[in-house]
């Protein structure tokens, strides 16, 4: 009678008959010392007592659920603390047991793990989107603290999905969708293939039950014939490897339902095309044998061009390593073959969890663990993202790792999501590099920053000390890190710029009524801030700068204590230099440039919007004179502005190219060209140009007007 059986014999009769417990004991006995097994059984007794009288929707005693969760983790050889936390993970939430009780009996680490798992489900939210996003955020934070929290949570979700039939339809669909959207991708990101596959299939089964049944029935019909083909090919592969003296295990794989469904959906192909792809896994002893086996396989069946991937030399982001090749099999049937070592196979199935199968001193060197830690540490940087929804949107990009691999100039490999641009690359190197990048070289050639990168390219980023992120980058970046860093920079810059502008606006409005901030004094300012419900003067200046509060009204309020009454337009003018940043913007309807007669309009949330005096839209704003602001340009404005001109030309071959060349010769860049209309004889073209000032655009228009094919040139203004 072994130690586990002796311990089980001491438990009450009903407990001894619990097959789940017996299964758990058998699993943990295989790799944990006897004293830890004793503690696990104590945890079971504690949990069984706490959950006594409770049952699941299926009618089973509640304790069967945490034991099943613990069994899933025992399959991955997790440590005793994680197994105990799995057994106790619902006790704090659903029973009278407290965290203090758990800490007293099982230690601080177990209590923290239980607390981490419990907290993920304890928050109240105003909307379903907010609930999913915030619970997701909590989960990510828990992972950063201790990755075992998410492993317990994934095992918990897996067992809940296995018993989901007992739930009502609406709840079943919601849980299934959440599983496919969040939990399966996390399992994939952490490299836990076993969890990922089962979560996907169960999620598919409960979210699309009819589609699942149709696919399953079709697969069952073809499976008999499939098994014969898989068996024949497996035997041929094994014989060829043995002949070359290679010891290998050949496994014929059956595709799981959700992967078949996804391929059918994405590639718009019928089931017959997808099902007839056979998969094989060859497991060998070491890396050099992997490449030797690849040569043998390619000698046996012809490889398909462009379908070989070496994930051993360049592992996937989650630590996965394997050689992938697709071959022309018997009768031209495609064969998918994966070749890997036993260690790689263990990592492929258990991912980051495989790290616990090694001794403590090996932990730091475990590749999947290190990769997971790198990813989790990058999540900590994303916390500056403003809302939970933004965070979820950002991290989901990383959870679907359709990756490309590019190189730094020094030859380092940088994994990025498919569709990533040079800006994504810059931020992946370092946030400061991204913030200061001005241009990029791909394979030594200058390219636009929005250029999408391809596998194997070498990317070099050119930076400038005074450069800063462009808000337009948000329209094309793909990585969570780039998107979050740009948003964070915009928020902080916008805040500091709005404070500076607001202070200037208030100063000028106070001068109009023969006062100043110094005359108002600290005492009056403090009293006014309290009345307005603001914490400090910076908040007031920011509101003024963003147009949420009017400077003339605020000035009178500070001086007289009265914020009521009709507002008068500000007499003083705001002098602009074009460097104010995002709180001073230039209207796209009339494209003002230095030298134009302009007016400012205070727009709530946007700050001051500059319009030309001739702009047709100003008629709408005249109904709100208190929001008008007199504006003048500084004498030497040193930056380029966008301006728009319309050109009517004869319809002659090469007319557009001639106009573009003349504009370029005038020292201007063309940002955009569009055809507004025309007929057989002429066309009306609209050019968006970069110019220095009013004189520059006048010079461009004169040059274009002299061209023989040009009929009319005008400056566009709404």
Domain architecture of the chain: domains with CATH:
3-210 (1.10.3210.10), 219-356 (3.30.460.10), 487-633 (no CATH), 641-715 (3.30.70.260)
Question: Strand, coil or helix: what is 362?
Answer: helix
- CB of 547 closer than 8 Å to CB of 605: yes
pLDDT confidence of residue 461: 93
pLDDT confidence of residue 282: 94
Residue closest to 517 by CA, chosen among 554, 474, 471, 572: 554
The torsion angle over the Cα atoms of residues 571, 576, 581 and 583, rounded to 10 degrees, is 10
Give 359's pLDDT tier (boundaries 50, 70, 90): very low
Q: Which range (136-140, 570-574, 575-579) has the least confidence?
A: 570-574
Q: Which range (323-332, 412-421, 673-682) has the least confidence?
A: 673-682
Question: What is the average per-residue pLDDT within 564-581?
Answer: 53
pLDDT confidence of residue 127: 45
Question: What is the average per-residue pLDDT within 262-282?
Answer: 77
Q: Which range (104-113, 163-172, 483-492, 667-676) has the least confidence?
A: 483-492
Distance CA(461)–CA(446), nearest Å, equals 10
Question: What is the average per-residue pLDDT within 31-39?
Answer: 86
Give 701's pLDDT tier (boundaries 50, 70, 90): very high
* Catalytic entry in 26, 35, 45, 94: 94
Distance CA(509)–CA(516), nearest Å, equals 9
Whether 323 shows a pLDDT value over 90: the answer reads yes
| Known active-site residue 93 | yes
Q: Which range (7-11, 297-301, 330-334, 645-649) has the least confidence?
A: 7-11
The residues, ordered by sequence, that sit 6+ positions from 532 with a Cβ below 8 Å of its Cβ are 540
pLDDT confidence of residue 137: 58
Distance CA(301)–CA(51), nearest Å, equals 58
Question: Strand, coil or helix: what is 629?
Answer: strand
pLDDT confidence of residue 228: 79
Helices 99-106 and 108-119: crossing angle in degrees, nearest 10, is 150
pLDDT confidence of residue 353: 57
pLDDT confidence of residue 158: 93
Question: What is the average per-residue pLDDT within 246-266?
Answer: 84
pLDDT confidence of residue 361: 38
* Catalytic entry in 18, 34, 72, 93: 93
Higher pLDDT, 291 or 387: 291
Q: Which range (15-19, 27-31, 453-457, 477-481) has the least confidence?
A: 15-19
Higher pLDDT, 331 or 420: 420
pLDDT confidence of residue 157: 92
Question: What is the average per-residue pLDDT within 235-242?
Answer: 92
Question: What is the average per-residue pLDDT within 669-680?
Answer: 77
pLDDT confidence of residue 3: 60
For 599-626, the pLDDT digits (tens) are 888 776 566 788 888 887 776 666 676 6
Which residues are paired to 669 by β-bridges?
690
pTM of the predicted structure, to 2 decimals = 0.55
Residue appearing with tokens 């209309």:
677
Whether 298 shows a pLDDT value over 90: the answer reads yes
The gap from C-alpha 43 to its chain's centroid, in whole angstroms, comes to 38
Q: Which range (8-12, 164-168, 279-283, 348-352) has the least confidence?
A: 8-12
Distance CA(202)–CA(428), nearest Å, equals 35
| Known active-site residue 94 | yes
pLDDT confidence of residue 372: 55
Whether 34 shows a pLDDT value over 50: the answer reads yes
Question: What is the average per-residue pLDDT within 127-153?
Answer: 63
Question: What is the average per-residue pLDDT within 519-545?
Answer: 80
pLDDT confidence of residue 338: 93
Q: Which range (102-111, 195-204, 282-291, 502-511) has the least confidence?
A: 502-511
The two most distant CA atoms of the chain are separated, in Å, by 105
Whether 135 shows a pLDDT value over 50: the answer reads yes
Whether 546 shows a pLDDT value over 70: the answer reads no
Residue 706 carries which DSSP code?
T
> What's the mean pLDDT when you consider all of the chain?
79
Residue appearing with tokens 């360049």:
314
Give 85's pLDDT tier (boundaries 50, 70, 90): very high
Whether 480 shows a pLDDT value over 70: the answer reads yes
Question: What is the average per-residue pLDDT within 65-79?
Answer: 89
Distance CA(81)–CA(100), nearest Å, equals 16
pLDDT confidence of residue 198: 92
Written in H, E and C, the secondary structure of 100-158 is: HHHHHHHCHHHHHHHHHHHHCCCCCCCCHHHHHHHHHHHHHHHHHHCCHHHHHHHHHHH
């Amino acid at each position: 009678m072994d130690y586990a059986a002796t311990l089980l014999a001491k438990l009450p009769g009903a407990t001894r008959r619990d097959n789940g417990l017996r299964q758990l004991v058998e699993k943990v006995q295989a790799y944990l010392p006897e004293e830890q097994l004793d503690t696990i059984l104590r945890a079971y007794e504690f949990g069984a007592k706490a959950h006594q009288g409770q049952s699941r929707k299926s009618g089973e005693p509640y304790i069967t659920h945490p034991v099943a969760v613990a069994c899933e983790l025992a399959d991955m050889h997790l440590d005793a603390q994680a197994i105990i936390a799995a057994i106790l993970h619902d006790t704090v939430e659903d029973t009278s047991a407290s965290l203090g009780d758990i800490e007293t009996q099982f230690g601080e680490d177990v209590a923290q793990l239980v607390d981490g798992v419990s907290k993920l489900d304890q928050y109240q939210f105003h909307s379903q989107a907010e609930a999913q996003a915030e619970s997701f955020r909590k989960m990510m934070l828990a992972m950063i603290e201790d990755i075992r929290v998410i492993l317990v949570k994934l095992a918990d979700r897996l067992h809940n999905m296995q018993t989901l039939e007992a739930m009502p339809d609406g709840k079943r669909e919601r849980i299934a969708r959440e599983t496919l959207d969040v939990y399966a991708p996390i399992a994939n990101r952490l490299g836990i293939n076993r969890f990922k596959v089962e979560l996907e299939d169960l999620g598919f089964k409960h979210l699309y039950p009819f589609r699942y049944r149709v696919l399953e029935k079709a697969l069952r019909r073809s499976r008999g014939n499939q098994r014969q083909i898989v068996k024949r090919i497996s035997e041929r592969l094994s014989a060829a490897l043995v002949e070359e003296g290679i010891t290998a295990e050949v496994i014929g794989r059956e595709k799981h339902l959700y992967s078949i469904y996804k391929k059918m959906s994405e590639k718009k192909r019928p089931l017959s095309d997808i099902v007839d792809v056979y998969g094989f896994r060859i497991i060998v002893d070491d890396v050099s044998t992997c490449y030797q086996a690849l040569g043998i396989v390619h000698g046996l069946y012809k490889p398909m061009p462009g379908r070989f991937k070496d994930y051993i030399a360049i592992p996937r982001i989650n630590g996965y390593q394997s050689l992938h090749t697709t071959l022309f099999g018997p009768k031209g049937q495609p064969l998918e073959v994966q070749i890997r070592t036993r260690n790689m196979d263990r990592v492929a199935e258990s991912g980051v969890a495989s790290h616990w199968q090694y001794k403590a001193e090996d932990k730091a060197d475990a590749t999947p663990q290190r990769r997971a830690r790198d990813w989790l540490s990058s999540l900590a940087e994303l916390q500056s993202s403003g809302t939970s929804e933004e965070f979820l949107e950002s991290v989901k990009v990383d959870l679907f790792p359709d990756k490309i691999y590019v190189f730094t100039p020094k030859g380092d490999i940088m994994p990025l999501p498919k569709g990533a641009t040079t800006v994504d690359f810059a931020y992946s190197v370092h946030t400061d590099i991204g913030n200061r990048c001005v241009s990029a070289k791909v394979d030594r050639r200058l390219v636009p920053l929005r250029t999408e990168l391809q596998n194997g390219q070498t990317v070099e980023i050119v930076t400038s000390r005074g450069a800063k992120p462009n808000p337009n980058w948000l329209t094309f970046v793909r990585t969570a890190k780039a998107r979050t860093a740009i948003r964070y920079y915009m928020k902080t810059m916008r805040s500091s710029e709005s404070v500076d502008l607001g202070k200037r606006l208030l100063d000028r409005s106070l001068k109009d009524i023969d006062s100043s901030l110094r005359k108002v004094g600290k005492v009056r300012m403090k009293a006014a801030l309290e009345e307005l419900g603001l914490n400090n003067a910076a908040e007031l200046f920011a509101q003024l700068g963003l147009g949420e509060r009017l400077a003339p009204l605020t000035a009178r309020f500070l001086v007289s204590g009265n914020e009521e009454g009709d507002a008068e337009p500000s007499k003083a003018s705001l002098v602009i230099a074009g460097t104010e940043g995002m709180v001073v913007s230039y209207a796209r309807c009339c494209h003002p440039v230095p030298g134009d007669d302009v007016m400012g309009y205070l727009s709530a949330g946007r700050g001051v919007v500059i319009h030309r005096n001739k702009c047709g839209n100003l008629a709408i704003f005249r109904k709100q004179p208190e929001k008008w602001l007199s504006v003048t340009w500084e004498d030497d404005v040193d930056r380029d502005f966008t301006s728009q001109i319309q050109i009517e030309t004869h319809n002659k071959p090469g007319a557009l190219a001639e106009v573009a060349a003349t504009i370029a010769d005038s020292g201007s860049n063309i940002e955009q060209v569009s055809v507004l209309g025309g007929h057989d004889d002429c066309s009306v073209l609209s050019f968006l140009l970069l110019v220095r000032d009013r004189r520059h655009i006048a010079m461009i228009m004169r040059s274009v007007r002299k061209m023989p094919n040009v009929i009319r040139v005008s400056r566009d203004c709404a």
